[in-house]
Structure 1
């Protein structure tokens, strides 16, 4: 994959460049601010853009707002937010507007290089990966939980693991149940969240968005 990195910490930026390059992927640009991210994506058209949240020029949520601009102007580029901050509304907007893969990890919870590379590859292939702690914080902003309250405890567990980008097989291994049981729970989730089969929508993504309260 071809990757753009936006990170204002020079040490972390260089570390990410080395780790990603060592994993066999190509870092086509590495920038230190939000405008640089938008410009680098326009120039290089990467598979995935990795960005922090708080970056110059304003050091608030500039990185997330730049990521939102990327999803609007280059909808085929996956976005991986790698930060120590969760900005609820902007994060929810990103999840909702993304048409390619999207991920949100907290820096201090990335336990090894393999986890980061796996997340990059999932996002690059169109998947959605959300750190469980990000999920927890986003859930704190929810207002209407009526549909989700219909889910059984097991269905909630399955949906939480779906939000982390896990496959049916991985969910089954984590919960010690068969893939058939996972599929049955997912079918129940779709039914209770009123997500019928359509040609244009990915029900798995829509279920995760509902889980995040978007």
Structure 2
């Protein structure tokens, strides 16, 4: 598998590069920021891009914005976000489209190398690899975002009748 790594931590980039080389994969580029990532994707067209969320210059969401751009420009390239954080807004946007060839794992929760390599294979094959904490966070966000989901069945029924134009007496 041909991969691009994007993380501002040189130790993580070098460590992952060696780990992936030993597992028989080819790291065609290892970069520290989003512009270099986007350039490397254009030049190398990898099978999968492994991307950190927070990269220079602001260390906020450059990696996720780059992941969204890669998904838009090159849907055939798998994207595996590997981060310390669940960025709900961008994760929701990332997962709003097709989830084929997409992953979002939390660095601290990857407990075995085989688990990480399996996630890469699933993403490359068009599958999905999501950390359960990411799923939980997104579901909690969805529940908070939809006030109708908090209505009781009877309240929802009354609201439905009001929407149909029935009067309070009816």
> What TM-score results when the alignment is normalised by the length of structure 1?
0.66
Aligned to 1:86: 86
After TM superposition, list the pairs within 5 Å mapping 1:154-169 onto structure 2.
none
Q: Distance in 2 between matches of 1:26 and 1:4?
A: 9
Deviation at 1:43, TM superposition (A): 0.5
Aligned to 2:115: 115
**2:99/2:127 contact within 8 Å kept:** no
Deviation at 1:97, TM superposition (A): 2.8
C-alpha distance after superposition, 1:148-198 (max 9, x if no partner): xxxxxxxxxxxxxxxxxxxxxxxxxxxxxxxxxxxxxxxxxxxxxxxxxxx
Q: Distance in 1 between matches of 2:42 and 2:55?
A: 19
Q: Distance in 2 between matches of 1:5 and 1:59?
A: 16
Q: Distance in 2 between matches of 1:51 and 1:98?
A: 18
Aligned to 1:57: 57
Q: Distance in 2 between matches of 1:35 and 1:2?
A: 19
Aligned to 1:210: none
SS in 2 for 1:86: coil
Aligned to 2:42: 42
After TM superposition, list the pairs within 5 Å mapping 1:11-160 onto structure 2.
11-98=11-98, 100-142=100-142, 143-144=145-146
Q: Distance in 1 between matches of 2:96 and 2:45?
A: 21
Q: Which has the larger radius of gyration?
A: 2
Structure 1 residues without counterparts, runs of 5 or longer:
147-214
SS in 2 for 1:104: strand
C-alpha distance after superposition, 1:88-136 (max 9, x if no partner): 1111111123464000000000001111000000000000111001111
**2:33/2:56 contact within 8 Å kept:** yes
Q: Which runs of 4+ in 1 moved over 4 A?
A: none
Deviation at 1:4, TM superposition (A): 0.3
C-alpha distance after superposition, 1:20-63 (max 9, x if no partner): 11111110100000111111111100000000001012210100
**1:71/1:98 contact within 8 Å kept:** no
SS in 2 for 1:140: helix
SS in 1 for 2:141: coil
